[in-house]
Amino acid sequence: MTRYGTWVTYGGSGRLELAVLLLAVGAALAYAGTRLPLPAGPARPGRKAAVFMVAAWVVAMTLFVSCFAIYVQQVRRDHLLHSLPADNVFPITLIAAGVTFFIIVVNGRPAGLPVVIGAIIGAMAGPMVFELPFDLIVMARTYPPLPPDPALYRAVFFVPLFLVEITTLSLLTLSPMVRLSRATFFSFALMLAVFAVWALTGFGYPSAPVPYTLNVISKLLAFVTVLTLYLPQRAQAPAQFAAQAR
Per residue in 167-190, pLDDT tens? 999 999 999 999 999 999 999 999
Residue 235: exposure state from Cβ atoms within 10 A (0-12, 13-18, ≥19): exposed
Contacts of 117 (CB under 8 A, 6+ apart): 174, 175
- Bridge partners (DSSP) of residue 40 are 180
Q: What is the pTM (predicted TM-score) of this model?
A: 0.89
CA distance 83 to 77: 13
CA distance 174 to 53: 9
Per residue in 132-153, pLDDT tens? 999 999 999 988 888 889 999 9
User: How does pLDDT run along the chain (246 residues), one tens digit per residue?
Assistant: 555 568 899 999 999 999 999 999 999 999 999 999 999 988 889 999 999 999 999 999 999 999 999 998 888 887 666 666 777 899 999 999 999 999 999 988 777 899 999 999 999 999 999 999 999 999 999 888 888 899 999 999 999 999 999 999 999 999 999 999 999 999 999 999 999 999 999 999 998 899 999 999 999 999 999 999 998 765 444 444 344 444
DSSP-based helix, strand, coil % in the chain, nearest 5: 75, 0, 25
219, 236 Cβ separation under 8 angstroms? no
